[in-house]
């Protein structure tokens, strides 16, 4: 999904107030009734309805009138809320090119006022539809309706908390800068994902660095859980940086040994296939000593045990769903399909939107766009 931040500048203070009102309404409504949005936003002279029209036009809100007249946030709407906050805090001022798109995230280059480049990661963990989740899952309770917002937010918080704790303890990870909602901002690592590296000058050294990193993590009670060539960046000097932490597991996890061995084997297999390098030695979890704990530091960032439990259950639920029920993983498509079913008036609107979008895309050159917001 494209994050076209240019439209931020067209939004007024009232538009944002309305957008935040929809976000608030989504805490206990899957689809927020128009009346509720108006009550929360409390704008004068029908201002909320005007804002709703603008937000819908920019695809920040999704409209559904089948049961009652209501709106919900789209990913883009949620992105704008996070971006606006990060801009207000002075963390970033420009959005650049997209450098990564995963199943569960989109990655952009951003920059601050002084043109210092950073990386913005937008978590998309709820891309899997929650429609089919059975209603009796007690832990979802009222949150069921907002589960993609909630899950993406937890993923960002988890990643930020782990990155910070690891960074503070000298691990080779990006520097965490800030987070808001489902997004985190971190330093930009100079290097390439190992999957793009065809040759290493010092394969033994890199292999040993990676195995030592797995051992060091285990000594801190952690297993990365996705320790592969996509999540390891290598610089020109062949220094390693580890990224991507939402799936980290504890060495006390019931399947810890399996996760640990899987991480080790990912590297061994890759080194053999890509570099023809066969590692003679590799660590076992039993040889590691869990002598440090990051629990306190992780909780200090706000990622508490309770949130971790919530997150694990929800993430598990997602995996179950995508394995068993083969449902459409892309919310955006869902929305488009639903849009197609809407009435003609809506379709016309849609067409206009598309034309506008094309125009805007043509306008958009490569490079940075300043994030202007109208009420600064
Ligand atoms: P996902 O959860 O979608 O796998 P990742 O955090 O692994 O997301 O990031 C996806 C890609 O984005 C990486 O493979 C890497 O190319 C790039 N990337 C992510 N973070 C950084 C960073 N801090 N510096 C440079 N590149 C990054
Ligand atoms: Mg990754």
Q: Which residues are known to be catalytic?
A: 226
Q: Which residues line ligand 1 (CB under 6 A)?
A: 99-100, 102, 104-105, 107, 119, 121, 174, 186, 188-189, 193, 230-231, 243-244
Work out which ligand 1 atom sits closest to the CA atom of 243: 6
- Separation CA 369–CA 111 (nearest Å): 10
Q: In the structure, what pLDDT confidence band is assigned to residue 179 with cuts at 50, 70 and 90?
A: very high
Distance 243 CA to ligand 1 centre (A): 7
Q: Where are the domains of the chain?
A: 191-303
Whether 147 and 137 have beta carbons less than 8 Å apart is answered as: no
**108: enclosing H helix or E strand:** strand 105-111
Tell me the pLDDT tens digit for each residue of 232-243.
999 999 999 999
For the chain, how long is the longest CA-to-CA vector? 74
Q: In the structure, what pLDDT confidence band is assigned to residue 58 with cuts at 50, 70 and 90?
A: very high
What is the per-residue DSSP string for 161-194? Answer: HHHHHHHHTT-S-PPEEEEETTEEEEEPPSSEEG
Instruction: Name the token pair of 197.
Output: 């590296």
Complex ipTM > 0.95 = yes
For the domain 191-303, what is the CATH code? Answer: 1.10.510.10
Least Cα distance to 244 among 268, 277, 266, 272 occurs for 266
Single pTM value for the model: 0.83
Location of structure tokens 């993923």: 155
Q: What is the pLDDT of residue 366?
A: 42
């Amino acid at each position: 999904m494209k994050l076209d931040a240019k439209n931020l500048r067209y939004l007024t203070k009232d538009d944002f107030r309305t957008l935040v009102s929809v976000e608030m309404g989504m805490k206990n409504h899957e689809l927020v009734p128009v009346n509720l949005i108006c009550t929360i936003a409390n704008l004068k002279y029908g201002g909320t309805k005007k804002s709703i029209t603008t937000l819908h036009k920019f695809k920040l809100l999704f409209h559904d009138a089948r049961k009652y007249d209501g709106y919900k946030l789209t990913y883009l709407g949620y992105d704008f809320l996070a971006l606006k906050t990060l801009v207000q805090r002075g963390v970033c001022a420009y959005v650049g090119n997209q450098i990564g798109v995963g199943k569960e995230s989109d990655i952009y280059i951003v920059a601050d006022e002084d043109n210092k480049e950073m990386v913005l990661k937008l978590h998309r963990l709820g891309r899997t539809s929650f429609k089919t989740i059975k209603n009796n899952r007690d832990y979802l309770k009222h949150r069921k309706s907002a589960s993609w917002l909630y899950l993406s937010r937890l993923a960002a918080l988890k990643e930020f908390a782990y990155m910070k704790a690891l960074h503070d303890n000298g691990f080779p990870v990006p520097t965490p800068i800030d987070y808001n909602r489902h997004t985190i901002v971190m330093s930009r690592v100079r290097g390439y994902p190992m999957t793009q590296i065809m040759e290493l000058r010092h394969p033994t050294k890199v292999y040993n660095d990676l195995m030592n990193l797995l051992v060091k993590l285990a000594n801190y009670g952690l297993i990365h859980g996705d320790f592969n060539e996509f999540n390891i960046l290598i610089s020109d000097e062949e220094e390693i940086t580890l990224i991507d932490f939402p799936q980290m597991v504890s060495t006390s996890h019931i399947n810890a040994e399996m996760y640990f061995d899987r991480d080790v084997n990912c590297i061994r297999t890759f080194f053999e296939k890509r570099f023809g390098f066969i590692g003679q030695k590799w660590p076992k979890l039993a040889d590691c000593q869990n002598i440090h704990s990051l629990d306190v530091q992780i909780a200090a960032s706000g990622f508490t045990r309770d949130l971790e439990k919530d997150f694990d259950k929800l993430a598990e639920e997602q995996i179950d769903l995508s394995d068993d029920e083969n449902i459409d993983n892309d919310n955006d498509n869902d929305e488009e399909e639903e849009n197609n079913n809407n009435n003609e008036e809506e379709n016309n609107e849609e067409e206009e939107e598309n034309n506008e979008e094309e125009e805007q895309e043509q306008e958009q050159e490569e490079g940075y766009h300043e994030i202007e917001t109208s009420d600064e």
